[in-house]
Amino acid sequence: GQSLEQPSEVTAVEGAIVQINCTYQTSGFYGLSWYQQHDGGAPTFLSYNALDGLEETGRFSSFLSRSDSYGYLLLQELQMKDSASYFCASNAGNNRKLIWGLGTSLAVNP
Amino acid sequence: GAVVSQHPSWVICKSGTSVKIECRSLDFQATTMFWYRQFPKQSLMLMATSNEGSKATYEQGVEKDKFLINHASLTLSTLTVTSAHPEDSSFYICSASSENYGYTFGSGTRLTVV
């Protein structure tokens, strides 16, 4: 089957750095995406990795290792507004369907 | 940038009635639309994939006669929840896909069936 695994909850303090890992098992892997979702809102695109390595976008970075079927989202200089759910998702076929992880709830405390 | 407008943002309906949710791509043509349902504290669950002018492809376990999807143009897709029941209460999200903009999500519709 196809699945993406990520931790269910992470807690950190303001100003800290947090890493959310995602391991995947998919057929026909095309790339790994990361989305942020606040309560009551729709997912917002954060980052995408098609190739191995690190992608940096401001305070957020994402890493992919295709050989390890593993990726992570790195959030730096955490702010209270970063408290949200974070999902990894994989485009695993030419039908463009996204396979979603179960999400990681991040709580940023003062 | 790409914008997807989803309406209504919330709706309350009586059990047994039907509700239509619209999803429009405002400044691009969406070759594919995806419809998701999300329960509290859970991940997005794909309900169906639709391509303009063709019948939607439903995921296993999703009743196609209950969740009617129409994708009549490259900028509009609709989801109609027919004969809604309280267990259909959920957050419904559409996502438009295009070669240039990847995946763009609507703002979601909170459906409450009473």
- Contact in structure between B33 and A89 (CB atoms under 8 Å): no
C-alpha gyration radius of chain A: 13
For the stretch A8-59, pLDDT in tens is 999 999 999 999 999 999 877 889 999 999 999 999 999 999 999 999 989 9
Residues from chain A contacting residue B23 (CB–CB below 8 Å):
none
**Token match 């209950």: residue?**
B66
Secondary structure (DSSP) of B75-96: TEEEEEE-S--GGG-EEEEEEE
Best to test chain B binding among A97, A99, A102, A106 (most B CBs inside 10 Å) = A97
**Token match 């196809």: residue?**
A2
Q: How confident is the model at residue A110 (pLDDT cuts 50, 70, 90)?
A: very high
List all residues 6 or more positions away from B8 whose beta carbon is below 8 Å from its beta carbon.
Answer: B21, B109
For the stretch B87-104, pLDDT in tens is 999 999 999 988 777 889
Higher pLDDT, A1 or A84: A84
Q: Residue B103 and residue A98: Cβ atoms within 8 Å?
A: yes
pLDDT exceeds cutoff 90 at B31: no
List all residues 6 or more positions away from B55 whose beta carbon is below 8 Å from its beta carbon.
Answer: none
Q: Give the closest-approach CA distance of A102 to chain B in angstroms.
A: 5
